[in-house]
Amino acid sequence: MTRIVVVGAGPAGIAAACRAAESGAMVTLLDGEPYPGGGIWRHSIDYSVPRPVRNSKEAKNMREKTKISNGARKAKRWFNRLDKVGVSLRTSETVVDITGRSVQVQREQGGLDSIAFDKLILATGAHELFLPFPGWTLPNVMGVGGTQALLKAGMPVNPASPRGGVKRLRVVVGGSGPLLFAVAASLAKAGAKIVCVAEQTSGMQLAKFALGTLRYQPAKMVQGMGYMLQYFPAPYWPNTWIKEARGDSQVREVILTNGKRQWIEPADLVACAYGLVPSVELAALAGCKLSVARPAWPCFHGLEARDTIGNRLVVDHLQRTFKETADYTDYAEKIKNKKLKSVKSAKSMVNNRIFAAGEITGIGGTDLAITEGEIAGLTAAGKEKSAAKLIARRERQQKFARLLNQSFALKPHLKQLPADDTIVCRCEDVTFGELKNQADQRSAKLYTRCGMGPCQGRVCSSALQYLLDWEPNKVRPPLFPTKIGAFISNTESLKRKAKK
């Protein structure tokens, strides 16, 4: 039986795990969070979609009396499917290394475990792009998805709610992307006061986005309008961004600007992020090809702008990753010129054991992630023909992804956000002034310790890739801080096994 390990239990990972297990593979699904769902289907303490859990009795209890939001119906279907197929779900377990044909995971309590695989599906998703601006290190300045995550986990925003809290928080939501609507709506629903939503992209781009959404995904338009109603009457300002946050022991006010004038708004909480960056660290460690190039397969012809900030994973039509040494540009060119025969001859360029699906292959949203996950899961389990049937659906969804990335492309003004004394590396407190004259990420690391803290550059290196065009440093294991004791106890267990 094929042993398949899926890393990341978001939409792509869950779809991959389900499809692979239904095709007869033995599947292990890993996630570092306490609950599966990833960022978008994250567990909420308020309404609980039935979560797949390790024992069935617990699952039954959790299913009782659940209130389900409209957007969660799709999630519910997939969670139920995951419960049924008998996937080994391991949450609170973070992959820290990959060696040959096994991944090393760190459990919540700190111990290390080794899990062997025949096929590996990477569905590690994305994290937010945080751009440093003066005052962004103040307490209560957080990401947009970050705010959503904390809210779902129980963060109080209104003393009148059962969660308590000190005061009704006034929130400024800023940055870029459709997530701003959703999070402003969630915050308003939880009882916060939305001061304004500041979107950096222009009104013209937004109008194009709205028209395109109507064309490709009309249901999403309805969803978006619903969100706006929820935080009504707070204003939504296009072409506006947060220039500075001010406060003392926490943020108190923000300075907003539209490039021409600036003004002050009060804020007890600031939710600000500029879209998503693929989380490719594990893939890089596994020797998969990364690229900033646009996806070649199959429908991105003529796209001028870089579609995603940060490096993404390149994959073939069946979601197989490429070897690090592969000449991807040549491959992409052949695909573009529809020399489809060369796709077959490209087999020596792909990793037959390592697949990728979802946001790590380029930011594209939930529906695309699910389809990619399904294709990866089926192919990994040996059902290439069934997988190929889904390619047309993926092409349609990629059109929406392209629209999304073009509409929310970042303005060049944002490169001027950090001042010389603005901290860029939050772990080691390194300022922009110390960094801007360095040659690259590596010299910055050697001379200033930028990126050497526990986040391992996940926050600052994406920002610096945007601000100064620096390539991120090479990824080294362990991927996340790991206790030295965990390594020691792991080798001991290996030794014990060897003796037996």
Three-class secondary structure of residue 381 per DSSP: coil
| Segment interacting with another protein, rule: CB under 8 A, options 134-142, 252-260, 306-314, 490-498 | 134-142
Q: Interface residues for another protein in 420-449 (CB under 8 A)?
A: 423, 426-429
Assess 182 for contact with another protein (CB under 8 A). Answer: no
Q: Which is nearer to another protein, 265 or 429 (CB)?
A: 429
Within 463-492, which residues bind another protein (CB under 8 A)? 480-481
Continuous segment of H or E residues that includes residue 120: strand 119-122
Q: Indicate whether 146 belongs to the interface with another protein (CB under 8 A).
A: yes
> To the nearest whole angstrom, how small is the minimum distance from the Cβ of residue 305 to another protein?
26
Determine the size of the site formed for another protein (CB under 8 A): 49
Residues 255 and 242 sit within 8 Å (Cβ to Cβ) = yes
In angstroms, the Cα distances linking 63 to 34, 43, 67 are 18, 13, 10
Paired strand residues for 172: 196, 270
Among 249, 337, 348, 437, binds another protein (CB under 8 A): 249
Binds another protein (CB under 8 A): choice among 100, 233, 412, 454: 454
Is residue 154 a contact residue for another protein (CB under 8 A)?
yes
Task: Decide: is 279 part of the binding site for another protein (CB under 8 A).
Answer: yes
Angle at 13 between CA 349 and CA 471, to 5 degrees: 55
Residues 162-181 interacting with another protein (rule: CB under 8 A): 162-166
Shortest distance (Å) from residue 34 CB to another protein: 5
Q: Is 19 helix (H, G, I), strand (E, B) or coil?
A: helix
Would you count residue 143 as binding another protein (CB under 8 A)?
A: yes
Burial 134-149 (b: 16+ CB within 10 A, else e): bbbebebbbbbbbbbb
Binding flag, residue 141, another protein (CB under 8 A): yes
CA neighbor of 81 nearest in space, from 370, 386, 380, 359 = 370
Task: In whole angstroms, give the CA distance from residue 103 to residue 72.
Answer: 31
Rounded Cα–Cα distance for residues 93 and 105 (Å): 6
Q: Which of 459, 463, 464, 486 binds another protein (CB under 8 A)?
A: 459
Q: Report the nearest approach of another protein to the CB of residue 329 (Å).
A: 30
Q: Give least dist CB 458 to another protein, A.
A: 5
- Minimum CB–partner distance for residue 142 and another protein (Å): 5
Residue pair 5/120 in contact by the 8 Å Cβ criterion: yes
Reading across the β-sheet that carries 102-107, which strands appear in turn? 93-99, 102-107, 112-116
Considering only 77-85, 154-162, 192-200, 307-315, which stretch makes contact with another protein by CB under 8 A?
154-162
CB of 244 to another protein, least distance (A): 16
Residue 33 CB, nearest approach to another protein (Å): 6
Give the one residue of 255, 293, 455, 468 binding another protein; rule: CB under 8 A.
455
The enclosing H or E element of 148 equals helix 144-153
Nearest to 268 by CA among 194, 200, 197, 198: 194
Query: Which of 455/475 has CB closer to another protein?
Result: 455
Q: Which of 161, 141, 366 is nearest to 267 (CA)?
A: 141
List interacting residues with another protein (CB under 8 A): 32-34, 39, 43, 45, 92, 94, 108, 127-128, 130, 137-143, 145-150, 153-156, 162-166, 249-250, 279, 423, 426-429, 453-455, 458-459, 480-481
